[in-house]
Structure 1
Amino acid sequence: MTTQTGFEFEKESVVSAWYSTTNFSDIPDSYFEEDANGIDQWARNFLIAHYDAENMETNGSESGTLPIIDVIAPCSYSHSYAEAVKKKIEKLGDTEISWLILLFDYEYRPKKSKVFEDEYVKFVGAFPYQMDAGSIVEI
C-alpha cells in the first residue's frame, strides 16, 4: 500500500533490519527527531509512511563497531533470525557494525521503494522471526 508520504509494509512474523557502520555519536540528533506525523528522518529517507514505534528495537555501540553477532544477540527473538541477518550483512561486505535497527511485523521492500540505503544505514533484509524464540543471550 502506498500513501502520500511513502509505503506501508506491515506483515506479521517478519522483522526488517537495517545496520550502520557510522559511530552512533556521529549521527545528528535530527536524524531521529519525529515530524508532526511522528515519522523521523530515517523513516522518511526509506519512504516509510508509518510504523508502530512499539515494534522498533535498536541496539549497538555509542562509538566504534562491534562484531555483528554481539549487536544482534541481545535483541528480542534474535535466536530465530540472527544468523540470517549476520550472513546477509557479511554478504554486503561488513563484519562489524555500530548499530542495528529492527522493525518487527514489518516487511520493508526496497524493490518497491527504490531505497536500499541512506547516508547512515543500509537495509539488510526482511526475515521471518518467531515470537516464542528467545534472544541468543538468554539461551
Structure 2
Amino acid sequence: MNAHSYELTKNHEGFVSIWVGIVPLAEIPEEYFMKRYDDGTEVDDDDEDLEPNFIDDFSVLYDEDRVDYNCCVEEFVSVERLIGECSHSTSYLKPACESAKKLGLETTQNVILLHDFNYALNPLHLKKNKYMHFIGSFPFDSDAEIAFQSGAK
C-alpha cells in the first residue's frame, strides 16, 4: 500500500465504484486481484501486509466484504451483463452502462465493484491503468435486486 492510499469511511455509504477490464482476462496476471506471497502462494486472510496490485495501482483501501468481482473467462461479453449480475445492480446499471459507453467500453471480460466506496471523491484518483478503467461512482440502493442472474446472456 502506498502512502497516498485513499480510505473511504461511512460518509460514502450508498455509492458503488466500478472498474471495467480493458484487456483480455488472460493478459491480467492472476495475482492482480489476489493476495499472494512473492513465491506465488496465496496469502492467509489474516496477513494484511500484502495487498493485490489493484489496490496499489488505484491507491485504495476497502472492505473485502463489499466487493463484487465478475468475469467471463471464455469470451468478451457486454459490460451491461457483467455489471448486471452484481449486487443491487438494478439501482445503478443504466448510468454505469452509459458511462462505460461514453468511454468506448461496451464489452469486457471482467468488472470489479466496490460498494459503499466513492472513488470519484479521491483527489488523486487514477482513471485507468493497463488492465482496468474506472468508469465512475454511482448511488445504489441496498434493497435493489440483481438485474441479471449469473450466466444469463
TM bin, normalised by shorter chain, reads 0.7 to 0.9
Alignment of 1:2-13 (within 5 A): 4-10=3-9, 11-13=12-14
CA RMSD of aligned residues (A): 1.9
Higher mean C-alpha deviation, range 77-86 or range 23-32: 23-32
Aligned residues: 135
With normalisation by structure 2, the TM-score equals 0.80
Match of 1:26 in 2: 27
Query: Structure 2 vs 1, CA of residues 92 and 132 (structure 1 numbering), >3 Å: closer, same or farther?
Result: same
Corresponding residue of 2:94: 83
Instruction: Report the CA distance between 1:34 and its aligned residue.
Output: 2.4
- Counterparts of residues 45-56 of structure 1 (less than 5 Å): 45-48=57-60, 50-56=61-67
Q: Decide whether the 8 Å contact of 1:25 with 1:63 is kept in 2.
A: no
| 2:17/2:114 contact within 8 Å kept | yes
Q: Residue 109 of structure 1: SS of its match in structure 2?
A: helix
Moved more, 5-14 or 15-24: 5-14
* Whole-Å separation in 2 of the counterparts to 1:39 and 1:55: 16
Residue 55 of structure 2: which of 38, 43, 53 is its match? 43
- Paired position in structure 1 for 2:45: none
Point out where structure 1 has 5 or more consecutive residues left out of the alignment.
Answer: none
**Contact 1:24 / 1:63 at 8 angstroms: preserved in 2?**
no
Map Cα deviations across residues 82-121 of structure 1 (whole Å, 9 max, x no partner): 1111000000012212111000000003761141111100
Deviant stretches of 4+, over 4 Å: none
The structure-2 alpha-carbon separation of the partners of 1:114 and 1:15, relative to structure 1 and needing over 3 Å to count, comes to closer
The structural deviation recorded for 1:33 is: 3.3
Cα gap change, 1:136 to 1:69, in 2 (>3 Å): same
Query: Which structure 2 segments of 5+ residues have no match?
Result: 37-47
Q: TM-score, normalised by structure 1?
A: 0.87
Aligned-partner Cα distance in 1 for 2:127–2:22:
15
Amino acid at match of 1:23: P
Q: Deviations over 1:16-66 (max 9, x none)?
A: 000013222221123123265252100110111x21000011112114310
Give 1 or 2 for the bigger CA radius of gyration: 2
Contact 1:23 1:63 survives alignment (8 Å): no
Measure the CA separation in 1 of the matches of 2:50 and 2:15.
22
Q: Is 1:17 the counterpart of 2:28 in the alignment?
A: no
Question: Percent same amino acid at aligned positions?
Answer: 25
